[in-house]
Structure 1
Amino acid sequence: MRLGYAVGYWKQGPPPGALEAILEAERLGFESVWTAEAYGSDAFTPLAWWGSRTQSVRLGTGIAQMSARTPAATAMAALTLDHLSGGRAILGLGVSGPQVVEGWYGQPYPKPLARTREYFAIVRDVLARNGPVTAPGPHYPLPLSGPSATGLGKPLQSTVHPLRPRLPVYLAAEGPKNVALAAEIADGWLPFLFSPKANADAAAQLEAGFALRDPGLPPRSGFEVAVQLAVVPHADVEAAADTLRPMVALYVGGMGAREANFHRNVIDRLGYSDDCDRIQGLFLAGRTEEAVAAVPTRLVEEIALIGPPEKIRDELAAWEESVVTTLLVQGRADSLRLIAELLG
């Protein structure tokens, strides 16, 4: 099992102690560090800033939102980061949800699977630099044509040569079809709110995608499944769960609309639909504290490692036996040290 450290996205500002935790992760032998973006900080700038203080850890966007940038702009950022870091970049991409895509970026959300296919194809063409990049569309046509275009656009090739033959591109996915798509077109899958309880379904979805995998892509044996995993060592399990209940309540109740919340759907599939109804109802009614209190401890225990070190050690085995290949640990420096010790 490989280890990475997930810094996440910013809240009101830069997360306190982030650089110190990143340096500690590198010292402990963690293989990667990951940043994220929602509708505040971006994923690339902090990764470049903090990554400039590191020597060996790989630098991953977990995730960069596809609607935030055109495919070419995303590939440019990845190429730039890869050169500046000496070949340590990992490009993690995801579609996000309709509230962010349409409300924040002003981009259309429909047909996310088709858009993802097009996006990945263009990103890979830019990164490969085998010639001028063209794409038929309909979502990302290159060059642009039609009544809104001048007709002066022409196929272009990146002026920057890739530092290495292949920069890994991962796909964040939660729904079954999107998980299968990750196995079909990506170098790795970035699950969210994953539980070993869902391992059989995840394995089947990945197999469906591998059956369609382009033989020109790296073999499935090198496919990564890197999951963000909150780790909260604490003598009191309930107190440990309390630190994560607000996050679960936010994603179940407040991320997305009542009728379209892909994070909630993941928890539904774990068998918590009734709990999700209650959490979502309370959250959308503005009763946030009650929504947080309604998050069951057993749910937190399924998607995170919490409690005394010996309990975490026992529960870690289920993660090691799952499709997961890399744990992207979320937590304080003591969490990083504990996981490094348990897996050492």
Structure 2
Amino acid sequence: MTARTVHLPVAAQDALDDVVGIGERAEALGYDRVWFPETWGRDAVTTLAALADRTDDIGVGTSIVNTYSRSAALLGQTAATLQEHSGGRFRLGLGPSGPAVVEGWHGESFGNPLKRTREYVDVVRKVLAGEQVDYDGDVVQTRGFRLRQDPPEPVPDIDVTGMGPKAVELAGRFADGWHALMFTRDGFADRYEDLRRGASLGDRDVGDVRTTFVLPCCALEDGERARDLARQHLAFYVGGMGTFYRDALARQGHEDAAETIHEAWQAGDRERAVGRVSDDLLDALAAAGTPETVRERVADFAAVDGVDAIAVSFPRAADREVIDRTLEAVAPE
């Protein structure tokens, strides 16, 4: 059975207590895990530590932390500490993010993202195993590092994100899981073949690589309002978050829409950008509308071959009422 998880929102929440409260609600409704993406706003480590304090059983994880603003050794320490603090409920999701975040916000050069991800996975695994880490990679160099406490038990799994063929192949070859974001069902199927190829190159079974499909969801009795919120959300990601969401959408056969949305958003014409998210494109990328409609669409995405977990995410403008109604509508049965 496909697991049901939650992507906690990074926007439109007044206080950390509100974010943690959404995680508590997800646990009460029977969700398997809550993920927190680290972009702007609250940092993932503090947020997940607070959430672990106020929950008992639900898994917690990062989806994602980037591989530029923290060293590989520090990410290993962080994963070990969160695993200890949560009582074994933590899962690490990492990835390179993109130039808009890495260069624009953190002032780091966005070079060798795939190699960096590969080397970070290597180093974090060594840290979590309690080994002395002497690592001389092309990107990462670490000498004499070792945890000063016992390594975590169990060792947390390491997932990576990826949108392009080579990035997904890397996930299949080296990671414990892959997080898929901004995919249609057909687009996911294409990239799943890359995941399968990567697993084969790593002498692994693709079934051992856990796939998490991040799905924007919005369920309201006013179905048109729900669809408008989701439409605005998709236009923001394709138009405003650098070029990698645009490029990923173009690879999936929606090149004209991707280019137009991006160009309009960059020109400041947000209304035109949102308007180019057609009903067909919205339904291909999200589950939005009335609760009954959204439940059906989430089930359709969950049934896609290779999907192990659906991560329910919310429109960036969603307030707590919208989030609560959506959580309730698509909660595990």
TM over 0.5: yes
Asked whether the 8 Å contact 2:219–2:288 carries over to 1, the reply is: yes
Distance in 2, matches of 1:228 and 1:313, equals 15
Q: Shift in Å at residue 102 of structure 1?
A: 2.0
SS in 2 for 1:56: coil
The residue that corresponds to 2:319 in the other structure is none
SS in 2 for 1:295: coil
Distance in 2, matches of 1:281 and 1:290, equals 10
The residue that corresponds to 1:227 in the other structure is 213
Distance in 1, matches of 2:74 and 2:297, equals 41
Q: Which amino acid aligns with 2:147?
A: S
Distance in 2, matches of 1:175 and 1:51, equals 33
The residue that corresponds to 2:282 in the other structure is 300
Distance in 2, matches of 1:293 and 1:226, equals 29
- In structure 2, relative to structure 1, the CA distance for the partners of 1:14 and 1:222 (3 Å cut) is farther
Q: Shift in Å at residue 206 of structure 1?
A: 1.1
- In structure 2, relative to structure 1, the CA distance for the partners of 1:13 and 1:72 (3 Å cut) is farther
Q: Which amino acid aligns with 1:274?
A: D
The residue that corresponds to 1:156 in the other structure is 145
- Per-residue CA shift, 1:168-206, capped at 9, x if unaligned? 010011111101111111111011112212233022111
Q: Shift in Å at residue 312 of structure 1?
A: 2.8
Distance in 2, matches of 1:317 and 1:202, equals 20
Distance in 2, matches of 1:232 and 1:318, equals 15
Distance in 1, matches of 2:4 and 2:308, equals 9
Asked whether the 8 Å contact 1:128–1:165 carries over to 2, the reply is: no
Asked whether the 8 Å contact 1:8–1:37 carries over to 2, the reply is: no
- In structure 2, relative to structure 1, the CA distance for the partners of 1:61 and 1:280 (3 Å cut) is same
CA RMSD, Structure 1 to Structure 2 (Å):
2.0
The residue that corresponds to 1:196 in the other structure is 185
The residue that corresponds to 1:147 in the other structure is none
The question of 1:334 aligning with 2:329 is answered no
Distance in 2, matches of 1:203 and 1:67, equals 26
Instruction: Say how many residue pairs are matched.
Output: 323
Asked whether the 8 Å contact 1:32–1:60 carries over to 2, the reply is: yes
Percent sequence identity over matched residues?
A: 34
Structure of higher CA gyration radius: 1
Q: Which amino acid aligns with 1:51?
A: A
Asked whether the 8 Å contact 2:246–2:259 carries over to 1, the reply is: no
Distance in 2, matches of 1:16 and 1:293, equals 34
What runs of 5+ residues in structure 1 fail to find an aligned partner? 144-154
Distance in 1, matches of 2:255 and 2:223, equals 23
What runs of 5+ residues in structure 2 fail to find an aligned partner? 315-322
Q: Shift in Å at residue 167 of structure 1?
A: 1.1
The residue that corresponds to 2:318 in the other structure is none
